[in-house]
Every structure is written in structure tokens, then in C-alpha cells.
Structure 1
Amino acid sequence: MLNRIIKISFSILGAVTGFTILRTVLLSNHIAMSENLRILIFVLFSLAFCTLFYFMASKIIGFVGVFIDRIENGIQNITLSEMLLGALGLIVGLIVANLISIPIIKIQIIGVPFAVIINILFGFTGVGISLRKRNENFLDIFRDGKVNSNIPKIVDTSTIIDGRILDICSSGFIDGELVIPSFVLEELRHIADSDDSLRRARGRRGLDILNLLQKDSCHTVKIEEFDYHNMEADEMLMKASLKLKGKLVTIDYNLSKVAVLKGIKVLNINELANAVKPIALPGEEMNVQVVKDGKEAGQGVAFLEDGTMIVVEGGKKYLGETVPVMVTSVLQTSAGRMVFAKPNK
């Protein structure tokens, strides 16, 4: 019923438009004709525009329906501050458009349509520009004359499951908005629904960590929709990071290296953990428990409380025992820090 009313309204609008256009053309050119012929031409011209607008109505209704659905989906993921910022951008864009339209609107026939198009274009441009600047703090301009860019942090699945990001955020080492891509949330859900008990536990742990992050009043956690299809998860993460101009938070070594090559700033939690580990200096003595054999003959392997691996030369014979050792060298690798020691007996 509503579609029929809209089509009838468009038909009437088309008839009026056709009548107005023809009347303007005839008056401008001072074309003389008999009254019967004039009425016939007006009727035919109005019917032609009426029919054209009627068939256009169905296309417009479909387009508007899809457009409204997209707006509704977008509004669900937009914060109140972003809506206010978008409204401000719309107002500024319309003001500029109206200033430009003042001389254009006076042009006969095409003036009004052009003015409407200019208002639409500048309105959308204002909204787009304002939303692109949503991560910048306007008040910082008055503090030090510079804009402090609040760069969003895009978090991957492995980081959420790992859980250390919760403590890092609580300690204040990561600031700004945390962005969880929609495909990461979907991946967490699939892992939590897995038939494998270990994967299921990891997925549920990730969802619990995400809930705790959302409850943290110091950080804004935003679920961002990305319409990516037929792509690997790592590729989608890098594409989302480039789109938002944000930093990628991960514990995946390979992903971090590829992302850096593509110009994406990466926050690798494993690198942070290695950086804050206590440094063992050559000549330092400590007590360690040898827990397994090393790769080389006669070697034993022990671990510090923070997970640092200690290779004990000749430590195989002390397997299962706690022995005093002296550090001989320290090797820093991309995977972490390795300490080499020998028994101090």
C-alpha cells in the first residue's frame, strides 16, 4: 500500500514537472499555437513525465530501502560522539553549499536542481571529513598548539585469547580506542563453539577477556564492521589497520613482520614482554632447576619464573635437581632472550 502511494505521488510530481518545463519553454520562446493544440501538447507532455516518474519510483523505492537498511546498520555501530561530530560536519557542509548556491539558484530551470545537488554533495563531504577526524582531540589545540592524534589500536584474535592485553591496558601502557574488527569477533565465536575442548576453552577465554576489556572504564572498546570476503584473517587485519590508520596489536610474529613491510605500525606484546624481562649479566650467579635435556650433548635446560630459557652446559647430569649456575652469555633473539650458563660447583 505504501509503495503504491509513493508511486502515485511520484506520478503526480512527474506530471507537474512536465507541465512546468513545457510552460517555461513556451513562454521563453513566445511560441504561438491554437488553444486546442496547446492543451493537447500539455496533456501529452505531462503524461510522458508522469509515466517516466512512475517507472522511476520503483527503482528509487528499492534504492532508498537498501540505503535505509545500511543507515540502520551503521547507526548501531556509531557512538554518540561520532553522531554529534557527523551532525556538526553536516551543518558546516550545508552552510558552505548554500553560500555557493546563491548565484546558481537564480538560473532558470536548472538552478534549483543544481543547488540541491550541491547541498547533497557538500553535506556528505562535511560528514565524511568530520568522521575522519573523530580520533583527534580538539581540545589539544588550545593546550599546546598541536593536535594529539588518538590512534586506534586494532586487536587480533590471538592477542585477545592470550589475555595479557587486559593487564597491559589496566596499567596504562596502551591508550586510546581499542578496535575489535567484526571478523575477529566472529572468529572468536567459532572457536568458542568448536568441538575440540581445548579450542573451545581458548575461545571462551577470549570472549571473557573481551568482556572485561569492555568493562574497563579507562578504555573504549569498539566493534567495527568490515565488509571483507574471501580473504585470510591476517590480510583482513592489515587492510582494516590501513583503513583506520591505526596500530595493529598482535602476538603473531609473522603477521607483525608482514604488517611492518606494508607500512603498518605494530604493537607486539611478545616484544614488550621481552623488553621488560630482567637482564641476566655474564658472571651473575643464580639457582635453577634443570627440567629437560638440551639440543646439544650434555646440555640441560632450565627456566626462570618469567619464562626465560637457560641452557646449562653439562647440566644433563643434574636433570631434576636445583643447582647453582653462573651466567656465561646472553643471546637476544626475535623469539626472546636465551641465557647460557654453566654449573657453579
Structure 2
Amino acid sequence: MRAGAAGRQARPGLVRTNSGRALGLLVALAVLALALAVSLAVGAKPVPLPDVWRALTAYDGSEHAFIVRELRLPRALLGLVAGAALGVSGALIQALTRNPLADPGILGVNAGAGFAVTIGVGFLGLSSIGAYLWLSFVGAVVVTALVYVIGSAGQGGGTPIRLTLVGVALGAVLAGVSSAITLLNPDAFTKLVGWSAGSLAGRDWSILLTVLPFIGAGLLLAFLAARPLNAVALGDDLARSLGANLVRTRLLVIVAVTLLAGAATAAAGPIGFVGLMVPHVARWFIGPDQRWIIPYTVVCAPLLLIAADVIGRVVLSPQELQAGIVTAFVGAPVLILLVRRKKVSGL
């Protein structure tokens, strides 16, 4: 994309002052705090908000305290960090490829994680989330690294178009192989259904603490990449003239996306639409500046995922609907409305 084309497509958001953007971010934080409180209170056994507060501040071993501290709190916090990871990874991929419809799966992250888990369940006999968590993460890392190596080979290096094509192609191959392995022994993959649909249910403190360092490192890299990504959005030639190191920026973004989406997918499964939709909403509201898009996504993406998890608990109570299914139901029509708006579609 030429610099002129990029400049014509980039449009300011609804809020054009930094003070207005900061105020909007504070409002989003308040709504996120409310969503976390609701997540701790709502479920198969409702817990009054005063009991939620006592469970958090003065644990007394009661049934309500146990439900809040040991079952719902790690689930809510995983929704917080996994939502931020999925949303920011989507924002980074859209900025790097200059494709507003890109998401973390475009670099093969979801396909790599799913393929590794399929191998572990089908051939190694793994049956629990904790058992295949690390395998899922390693699969995401290996496949994303392979995409970068293949996409960077030859003349021209790893351009956004080449990385996108390689990621889509490799992801399609791995998804097909995973489906074939699943069909060979469907009984072995019964317990994998919840993970493959994307869910926060059944996740405990050990899973949260395992992925937290990787997501923290990925978020740090994302904030470091925000400023150079603004230059990349202007086109390669203009970005170089502004002093941006394209190779270093692309590598930084790919490492960040691998850490974020790989860890989130390993813990919660391949949840879609979070990384695709939330950056669209952020751009519509505050414009194309990545220095604001990433903080907004860090707050709004967890809000979407936690809300989807809460809706999944109550819509079929006492049964639960996976959060990944809810985000698809909510995300698809919203995304259709968003992409029809030129102010949102342009990067």
C-alpha cells in the first residue's frame, strides 16, 4: 500500500482530543470493573454482591466464599488477561498487515495450537486442560515461527502480504490434518469439544498463573510496538523515511502476537471475533493511532469476553454455553455493521 493510499484511508475517530480519549478509557475501565463484579456473582448458584465482597476481603471458608475465590475469581481473571491478549494481538495484526479484517488466526496461531493439542490427545493420551496447555502453546509458537521463516525467505523479505498468505495456507493445512485425525478416533476427542469451542469454564489458578507471564510479556512488547506501527501504517517507503525499522517492527509484532494469542488460545481455546471486532470499535471511537488503540483494546476486549462468559452461564442455565460461541453470535452482526462504515474499515 502506498503512503498516499494509506493516508486517504485513515480517518479520525469520533473523539479527536486526548482528554476525551482519556475520559472514554476511564469509563471503559469502570464498566469492566462492573463486569468483573457481575462475573463473580452470577452463575448456577447466584452469590449476593455483599458476599462477593466478603469473600474477596475476608475469606471465611463458607460455600459462597469458596465459589467466589476458587471457582469464579480465577475464571474472571483469566477472562481479563485472555481477552486483553486476544484483542491486542488482533490490533497488532491488523496494523502490521494493514488489513482491517485480520485476526490472530491469520498467522496460524490458532491452527498451530489446535494441531498440537490434537496430536497430544490423539497420540499421547492427554485428557486434561493442564496436560495439553503447554503443548498448545508450543504448537502456536512453532507454527508462527515457521510462518515467519517461510514468509521471509527469498527476495523482498517478510512483507505483510506474504506473511498473510503463508499463515492462511499453513493454517488451512493444519486445520485439515487436525480434522482428519479427529475423525479417526472421535471418542478420544470428547473432552476437547469445550476447548475447541472456546471456554473459560473449569480453569483454575494454575492455568491462569501459567499463561500470565507470557501474556504480560506480550502486552509489554505491544506497547513498545505502538509508535513504529503508526509509521508502518503510512506505507513502507514513508515509514523508512521517518526512521522506522520495518524488520525489527515486524519481528516485534510477530513475537508479541505469538505470546498473546498463543497463551490465550492455549488457556481458553480458539475464541474468535474478540481480536477481530474490538480493534474496529476502538478505531471507530478514537481513530487510527495505535498508542490509543492498544490501551482501549486492553480494556474493551476483556469486557467483551467476560460479558460473553456471563451470558453463556445464564442463557441456558443450569447448563453453560461456551464463551466462544457467544462471541460469535454477538460479533458477527456487529462486525457486519462496522465494516460497512468507511470510517471503521480504513486503517
TM-score, normalisation: structure 2: 0.29
Larger helix fraction of residues? 2
Larger strand fraction of residues? 1
Higher CA-based Rg = 1
Which structure has more relative contact order (CA 8 Å, sep 6+)? It is 2
